[in-house]
Structure 1
């Protein structure tokens, strides 16, 4: 015997949430008939995906252009060592299907961009932004506003996380709060600043919770509010956001942005995943790892390697005979003091944030090499 359009198997499977008076059969049915898209099958997307799957979502779309790497596994809990090299959307789909085979799973092994976002998102009822770059946040926001889809947005970095719901029940969109993107060199990602593995797990799980509330027609979503979590001090806050802005260029009364644009250009970055790009305006030179290795191994030349990463990163890995002067210390000494310690031939090794030493590198004629490329 079935209850409404739920089968006996579904009643048995979802029974613990069906008996919640705030949820019940009505919300379960709505969830079953809903389609959710998760953009980014990483630290946030993995827990969001498995909990939406387990809760009984009707259709779950999983979008990610990347493949599984060992460095993902400390936080991206759906992937396996044996799955190294497998597309993340495929790996996440297989893991979710192993938890609940009833939903329909759609794999999108593509990079979402201005040319395909509308056609993909139009297939779904809600979008979960589980990415970690600003350009994609603006892209997803604008696409969801244009298509009138709610956007459940999460972020996690270091020991902190945050969560909100955009474009839902008259609430603001991302552009209402951030009409102008931040300078490209002020934004960092997990690969640059690090993240404790459980932090995206906590936020991603909460994204699934908010998606269930939105798709199930429940009350109390985070629209118009921002949840903030600090795992280091174990504190949480919920702050009220500014309301929808009538002057917003996307969701305002007279929007000027009615189609998707080039969001990499809008945010001033050459590629959403190319964190090693240098701003041409800095005038810095750049040397390849191969060329540097050849120079460094030339015993007829004198070299000084200046590594400006924090001490704890220097302790993880370093090139022999390099000197560690963290950037925050480097900024406190004068250029003359620095130049007294290094020769005009010195090479500067930088882990990602070179904004603080641009003038020193330009004037001293140094080069910038990224350790992630060194072998």
Structure 2
């Protein structure tokens, strides 16, 4: 609702008298009605607004406190702010702020109004009220939530930095590189739609850039919170095996939890190799058990050659034999490399898991 101009032409002496008499009042900025206001945005160029469309905004409220329009500008001036970078949502009051600064005779800062972030659909502004919708897909627009969902600061920063920034959209950069390369000259006025797939891409990439020690330190809380007793020595061995598979830090739970369990409980149906039945799969598992039991240890170098020789002699495929072992040992069809996993788990636990898998298959 635009101000009706009731007191716009009130004589200063009369206004002062009524204020002194205790009448409730505000102080407005007297916007010129004629001509136009030209405000320069570094990214958008000159923005020209006819003054007849501008309002006499309140600068001091009836309680004497300043509105944002006055307070923010005075604060920026006193703090010698040289660049004001704020959302494009402030463009409607941009002419007012420019007029206020010029009325004071102050030097204008460099103004930049980046575009707002749009919803993933590209329709409408993304706001905090959209939290419930995006959380359904396992994402969030709140930083605190992103941390809990396993996103690393480096990935989130990289993702946000490239929204509205005119560089290649798949540029992976560290914070130092972002600082070195950033320039307001590269900002673009086009609104950017939130793209959580790109967030996943950048997050996974930055996870893979972490050192083994740093990544192990970051994933440990997720495993601990899930109820697993995690010793650092084992975790440092496990981390390189799962690094390439992680999109978020909490992905460590499905990919690494079997390392820290006493036992696993695979789906019996998944123990059956393609092209074989339960009894045939049990026979394969039994022979693999005997072979593994005969070895001095299950290090990668010790276990892989004889197991591959067994595959060749059996007439079966590696997928069939190793598939049975993978599910028996890890409890899942997709896992980190089998031989490295068995080495870390240890001979005793591996044999116990294979033995239980045999019992499960024979009972089908």
Q: Which has the higher contact order (CA 8 A, sep 6+)?
A: 1
Structure number, greater radius of gyration: 2
Class of the TM-score when normalised by the shorter of the 2 chains: under 0.3
- TM-score scaled by length of structure 2: 0.24
**Greater share of helix:** 2
**So what's the TM-score if we normalise by structure 1?**
0.24
